[in-house]
Chains A and B, each alone.
Chain A
Amino acid sequence: MSGNKTVLGNASLAAFDVIVIGSGAGGAPVVDVLTRFGKKVLVLEAGANHFDGLDDPRGLVSRFSNDEVKQYSRGLISPDSYVEPRTFRPNEGAGDRTFVGDVNSLAKTVGGAGVHADLKMPRFAPKDFQLGTLLGDTFAGASFADWPVAYDMLEPFYAYVEQTLGIQGQRGSDPYAGPMKADYPMAPGNKMYVASRIEDGANKLGINVFPYPSAVNSRPYQGRPACVDCGFCSGYGCPSNAKGSPAVTMLRRALLSQLCQLQCETRVVKLLANGAGTRIDGVECIGPDGKRVTFRADQYVLAASPIEDARLLLLSGNLGNASGMVGRCLTFHLQTVAVGIFEDRLHSHRGKAVSHGFSDFRGVPMDPTKPLGGIVEISGGPGAVEEATFYARILTTLGQQFDGVRFKRLMQQSPGRERIVALVMQAEDAPQLTNRVDLDPAVKDLDGLPVPRITYSSHKFELGARDFYAPKLMSLLQASGAKYGFVAPIDEISASAHVMGTLRSGSDPRTSVTNPEGRFHGLENLYASDGSLFPTSSGYNPTHTLVSLATRVAGDMVFPGSPERVLA
């Protein structure tokens, strides 16, 4: 079987200062900062590489494409539950598991979930970092906590990331956003027609629609072209690299530095600790050929995603878990999806998945008239194969015999692609100690390793916000001229790609896993740098904060106590 290139960057490097586990939005910023300051870095990525020339200054070619079969139907970069299943149960009383299969898996590839995401990049708001103080113990069963990092501390990192990835947006257009000291480097791109139609309704209701900040070029930027709004964005790697994913920006810069080596298709399966359990001495991996290999460095960074980070620690003998908090306070965003179908064609499959949104439903802490919901995305329609899946499942659910003629008419008339809009509220998910990742006691993956088990139930905190805002979303659909409107039922197993928590950061080692700089309490050379650090989920898309926080973690590794020095 012919294979991909599995070693990128400087293949001659044999000794490393730092090993980074994961090459996505949490790992790439760390690798970039460390190599800019002279560190030799080994990146271990479980997935395959689909960029040619990622480590070649002469050119970069994406191997992603506008191909629904490749990515939507066959899942090129999705972990396959036939060999890498996860398990789920709603609570401990439900038994060992109620489901085996795909549970909140993120893309597994060089560049991680930053490759397939459409990279909507709003910042968190200042109050999002203070919910421990602002909400306290008001909501029984919830475990809100302040972040050990305040908005003002993160602001220069936000600005750095906006410039480095290339974020389009309009400063000041979101009245609920925190202060920005600099403009976005690019103006907003083209507006989707469907966004204009929703804005018409929003204006009647006093809702403020604004251009959604996203790491997508609206003009040629740093050698990458302007986005052409091809329509295959969310869930698809970018064919032209107009999407400023951490892979083609930060990771590429690191690979070109000659100080970085990236080993793909290499699963880290165990962290090797010293006898006292105070340091990491190495990592055990399964390489592309299925053979075990060990790598060593002075420092180690976990950036494999919140669920896989926690799993790895548990596979490594419950490392870093003196607090008992490893894997706990797993959060997603509770997505409330209000779907509108219009009489006329909106061609909502053209463009980015989302060009505009609004924050009016984010809410105000402790104000019962404005519960904490989240930013709302004005989302377009899918491609034809995904659309067909929608109708097929409707007809299968509604009818005894498959009505092929109606199926064909649905595809031709296209209520689910040409005439659809989805208003998606990404609501704050209350952290709960009982929502957690641990190891399934029996189910194994293809290499015989216990798989992660997700125990998760929504809290009445976010369910209440959904009940409050869902009718308002429906009113907006009506005001915008939709003919049909409905709110999609809640999935027991969240399909959200916003995965946070599990290695909560904080100052108190009794209630947190990592310190304010991302280093593990009690493990002097192990850090985390991805969404696992988030004490709370906010109600905004997490990627911008994730990348900015990872940059700060790396900054503190280089300049302890003065991480902002790496921004100079």
Chain B
Amino acid sequence: MKPSKVSRRAVLKVLVATAPGTVASMALPGCSSDEDRAETARDFFTDPERRALGALANIIVPSEPGAPGAAELGATAYIERLLTAFDVDPPALFADGPFSGRQPLPDGKGGGDALPPNDFLRFRPLDRVTEKAWRIRLYGSKAVDGGTLNEGLVAPVVGLRNLFKEGLRAAVAEAKAPIETLSPEGLHDVFAGLDSELQKAFVELVPQAVWGAPEYGGNPGGAGWKLVHFEGDSQPLGYSLFDEGAGVYHERPEFPMSTKDPAPDPAPLDDGTRAVMAQVVVFTNGKVFP
């Protein structure tokens, strides 16, 4: 929900250029309604809403035999924890560091096997400015003292809590059967009927849940990373292991940095992905090289 400009990885340039609506979202018209701040992490969603949330998240990352979808990968817990972040102190927004305890400390000899403690289980305190921004993001600008900074110039911010709660409440009420029991077509119809801002929130938050650090509530045991052949957080071991005695780097044989991976490609490009790439090439006046 917060486009970051800190990364200079060049791929971001493509993202911003192809999705101007995202960076301009502050200027988009929105609606305001009563905010609900009484609910807590335990009961923020009702069980039917929670099941609906999981089913709709599976539209973004579907469940398949042998390949879990968003609900199994913790999307519901991630989103609920975000929406109730201020129920704990410090708020559950920014995990601490430096290490998660999933990778060992380098031993100075080109290896390592001693795991550090998991710092990600704690959260960073917020400063005055950051706290206000996140209260606006979660509760809405009208529910936060001083939150309507530029009324008349910028559309009010609809809080994520209200966006999800009201959207799911209405979807559950209007559905002819429990949402999680609907056919794929029925689910898509429900999704298409959601407020467009809520649809955007699903598209943005579900991947964070599935492929973000497990401590935020999703990606249980790194299952999301395993699904897409991603190593996840690599510190403190990393990929280049310094041998202090010899003064040289060694590489991890199974995950080299400087040479080709030794294992066969676990998921080669298929025709569908080639078609998407070809469309990107057309969209950008690029080339498919012979």
Contact = CB atoms under 8 A, between A and B. Distances in A.
A153 to B, nearest CB: 29
Interface in A401-456: 401-402, 404-420, 422, 424, 442-446
Contacts of A64: 97-98
A75 B4 contact: yes
B93 to A, nearest CB: 6
Given A353-B9, A412-B267, A230 B128 contact: no
Interface in B126-159: 126-134, 136-137, 141, 146, 149-150, 153-154, 157
A551 interface: no
A104 B94 CA distance: 23
Contact of A239 (B14, B236, B266): B236
Nearest to A483: B289
Q: Which of B67, B230, B247 has the most CB of A within 10 A?
A: B230
Interface stretch (A130-138, A156-164, A176-184, A338-346): A338-346
B38 interface: no
A146 to B, nearest CB: 29
A65 B99 contact: yes
A271 B40 CA distance: 44
Contacts of A99: 23-24, 27
Contact of B9 (A76, A239, A380): A380
Interface string B83-112: 000000111011111111000001000000
Contacts of A388: 207, 210-211
A62 B97 contact: yes
Contacts of B19: 393, 396-397
Interface stretch (A78-86, A306-314, A558-566): A78-86
Contacts of B23: 99, 101-102, 493
Counting chain A residues whose Cβ lies within 8 A of the other chain, the interface size class is: 35 or more
B175 interface: no
Nearest to B124: A63
A238 B249 CA distance: 19
B240 interface: yes
B98 A235 contact: no
A536 B19 CA distance: 31
Contacts of B2: 73-75, 78, 80-81
Contact of B153 (A189, A442, A495): A442
Contacts of B99: 65, 239
B136 A82 contact: yes
Q: Which of A4, A377, A393, A443 has the most CB of B within 10 A?
A: A393
Nearest to B284: A486
A445 B148 CA distance: 10
Interface stretch (A7-15, A221-229, A247-255): A221-229
Given A71-B6, A85-B154, A189-B249, A484 B288 contact: yes
Contacts of A420: 11
A196 B257 CA distance: 11
Interface in B202-245: 203-204, 207-208, 210-213, 216, 224-225, 227-230, 232-242, 244
A406 B225 CA distance: 17
B9 A486 contact: no
Interface stretch (B29-37, B163-171, B273-281): B273-281
Interface stretch (A16-24, A458-466, A474-482, A510-518): A474-482
A402 B203 contact: yes
A482 B281 CA distance: 13
B178 interface: no
A487 interface: yes
B61 A408 contact: yes
Contact of B241 (A228, A235, A408, A443): A228
B98 A65 contact: yes
B125 A229 contact: no
A382 B95 CA distance: 20
A75 B7 CA distance: 10
Interface in A56-112: 61-78, 80-85, 99-102, 104-105, 107
Contact of A189 (B10, B134, B146, B240): B240
Given A339-B14, A410-B273, A446-B132, A65 B120 contact: yes
Given A190-B257, A384-B211, A393-B18, A477 B289 contact: yes
A384 B236 contact: no
A402 B9 contact: no
Contact of B230 (A384, A415, A419): A384
A357 to B, nearest CB: 12
B113 interface: no
Given A73-B4, A101-B24, A1 B90 contact: yes
Contacts of A230: 233-235, 238-239
A350 B204 CA distance: 24
B12 A495 contact: yes
Given A422-B9, A443-B153, A404 B62 contact: yes
B14 A390 contact: yes
Given A78-B4, A339-B11, A410-B273, A231 B239 contact: yes
A191 interface: yes
Q: Which of A82, A395, A485 has the most CB of B within 10 A?
A: A82
A382 B7 contact: yes
B270 A409 contact: yes
Contacts of A392: 60, 203-204, 207
B176 interface: no
Interface in A139-196: 189-193, 196
Interface of B: 2-19, 22-27, 58-62, 64, 67, 89-91, 93-100, 106, 119-120, 124-134, 136-137, 141, 146, 149-150, 153-154, 157, 188, 191-192, 203-204, 207-208, 210-213, 216, 224-225, 227-230, 232-242, 244, 247, 249, 251, 255-261, 265-270, 272-273, 276-281, 283-289
Top-3 shortest CB links A-B: A228-B238, A486-B286, A65-B97
17 contacts: A63-B96, A67-B233, A69-B208, A76-B94, A85-B154, A101-B23, A226-B240, A227-B240, A288-B127, A290-B128, A347-B255, A385-B212, A406-B272, A406-B273, A409-B270, A411-B211, A474-B286
Given A65-B96, A424-B10, A489-B18, 9 more contacts: A67-B233, A77-B6, A226-B249, A228-B237, A337-B13, A353-B9, A413-B268, A483-B289, A484-B286
